[in-house]
Amino acid sequence: MSDNQVLHPFKTPFLSSLTFAPETMPFTDAEIYLLDKELTTFEQAYLNPEVERTLISKNELLASFAISKAENSELTIKEAEDVYALLISDSEFDFIGKKLEGNHQLTQKDHDKLEFYNIAKTFRAYNQLRFSLDQLKPEFILGIHRELTQGMDIFKDYLLDFTIYKSGKFRDNDEIRVGSYVPAPFSQIKAGVNELIAWLQYQPSPTAIAEFHTALYALHPFNNGNKRVCRILEHLLFRAVGINHKNLYSTAYYGHLEKARYYKYLLYSLERYNLNHFVGFCLEVLVVSMMSVIKTSIEVKRDNYLSSLTLNENIIKITKPLIKRRELQFKQLIKMVGKKMARQTFVDSLAKAVELKALSKRDEGRNTYYSIPVSIPEVPIYDKWLATSRKKLTYIPDELLLL
């Protein structure tokens, strides 16, 4: 294959219209595997067990919440936490059935709760499987859709503009549209899904998984629920090829944080029949999600250091912004904290924080900078990854740059 060659990876009629140029991707598979290897080494050497438990426990909740928000759910994170707690305590509790037994009308909020409940239950169940690529079959994908959409079609009698799911069945019509995009004719779905599975099993890699995700969504095999299926499958597939083997993060959550860009690149790929736009975004999401593990560990260790000191309420308020930031100028810090206390109280508390070694300060010209004085081995690892990402990506979230 020569450089700058545009590939048509697939052969079935609809899928063969999709193009892909691998040299346009921000990261190669070799680079992603190297990052994952470094992350694994970091986990073994540096990751605090408390941090690891925190990451794993939050992952299912946040990933499920993120997937539901991709469906324009109005559920708040607090409401999602309540539903998740219900799932943990009694995974078979039928709260929709209980409401119907009381002759109550079902609402949009009930829909969003059941949608999240199904996502969390499905994500949790499949996440605990020892999944391998040879298990990937059309029936497996249909099973994910069935569990994600269980009981949802009852809302067709209660909500306007409701698109039925036909749970656990491939699309049987050509009426579905994604904006102006027209997906594959339903008659080509089974052949298309079979080709995608065989293609991925033949050449598994992170980039191939991102291509699979994009092409499967372009095919649009289900009447409703395609994004949910694709995002849960992506998570399972990355782990099947050795990425994120401890389940410390989910690409779905970063996709939620960058929801506008998620839809922008997805629509670009669909409308242009060009996999590049969304595949590149998927690889960005994967690398940034890896970086988030390091970032969280740094923040927890900074927080633990401050918790080991005896600090008053004002000093705690002053030091809190620096848990997520490498350092801040005096004027930045007072802007963030100053409204919570009088200026002189802030100045006195800041001096006391330095005296107690809760903060250190350095002067550079007329500016004074403050930081939390704890040495963390993850920082140089993170700096290296950030430098690499700056060369590769046109966009990096502000919160990653601030650390």
In a domain, 380, yes or no: no
In a domain, 361, yes or no: yes
d(CA 250, CA 267): 22
Looking at the chain, how many residues does it have? 403
Same domain, 205 and 340: no
In a domain, 389, yes or no: no
Same domain, 162 and 232: yes
φ, ψ (nearest 5 deg) of residue 144: -60, -45
What is the per-residue pLDDT for 293?
A: 86
Same domain, 84 and 221: yes
How do 360-364 and 328-329 pair as beta strands? unpaired
Same domain, 167 and 217: yes
Which of 297, 323, 358 is the last residue in one of the domains? 297
d(CA 250, CA 291): 12
Domain of 196, CATH number, reads 1.10.3290.10
Give tens-digit pLDDT for 301-323: 999 999 999 999 999 999 999 99
d(CA 361, CA 340): 21
Same domain, 265 and 119: yes
In a domain, 13, yes or no: no
What is the per-residue pLDDT for 5?
A: 62
In a domain, 14, yes or no: no
The strands making up 328-329's β-sheet, listed across from edge to edge, are 328-329, 367-371, 360-364
What is the mean pLDDT of the segment spanning 322-343? 91
Distances (CA, A) of 158 to 103, 109, 149, 163, 203: 13, 12, 16, 12, 45
Percentage of the chain lying above the pLDDT 70 cut = 98
Same domain, 288 and 320: no
Instruction: For residue 1, name the pLDDT band (cuts at 50, 70, 90).
Output: very low
N-terminal to C-terminal alpha carbon distance within the chain: 41
Domain of 315, CATH number, reads 1.10.10.10
pLDDT above 90 (res 110) = yes
Closest CA to 256 of 228, 295, 217: 228
The 8-class DSSP code of residue 92 comes to T
Closest CA to 123 of 163, 83, 74, 169: 83
Q: CB of 117 within 8 A of CB of 87?
A: yes
Closest CA to 165 of 189, 195, 144: 144
Same domain, 217 and 341: no
Same domain, 196 and 128: yes
What's the pTM? 0.89
Per 3-state DSSP, the chain is made up of helix, strand and coil in percentages (nearest 5) of 65, 5, 30
pLDDT above 80 (res 37) = yes
pLDDT above 90 (res 221) = yes
Same domain, 331 and 291: no
98 or 19, greater pLDDT? 19
Partners of 362 in the beta sheet?
Answer: 369
Give tens-digit pLDDT for 59-107: 888 889 889 988 888 999 999 999 998 888 877 778 888 888 888 899 9
Q: Coil, helix or strand for 315?
A: helix
Give tens-digit pLDDT for 112-146: 999 999 999 999 899 888 899 999 999 999 999 99
What is the per-residue pLDDT for 69?
A: 86
Q: Which domain holds residue 362?
A: 309-371
In a domain, 281, yes or no: yes
Domains contained in the chain, number: 2
d(CA 205, CA 211): 10
In a domain, 212, yes or no: yes
What is the per-residue pLDDT for 6?
A: 61
Instruction: For residue 4, name the pLDDT band (cuts at 50, 70, 90).
Output: low
Same domain, 200 and 52: yes
Q: CB of 38 within 8 A of CB of 292?
A: no
Same domain, 322 and 228: no
Q: Coil, helix or strand for 169?
A: coil
d(CA 162, CA 230): 21
Residue 307: is it exposed, middle or buried by C-beta count within 10 angstroms (0-12/13-18/19+)?
A: exposed
Same domain, 329 and 284: no
In a domain, 9, yes or no: no
Q: CB of 75 within 8 A of CB of 113?
A: yes
Which of 297, 317, 352 is the last residue in one of the domains? 297
Count other C-beta atoms under 10 Å from residue 352's C-beta. Answer: 16
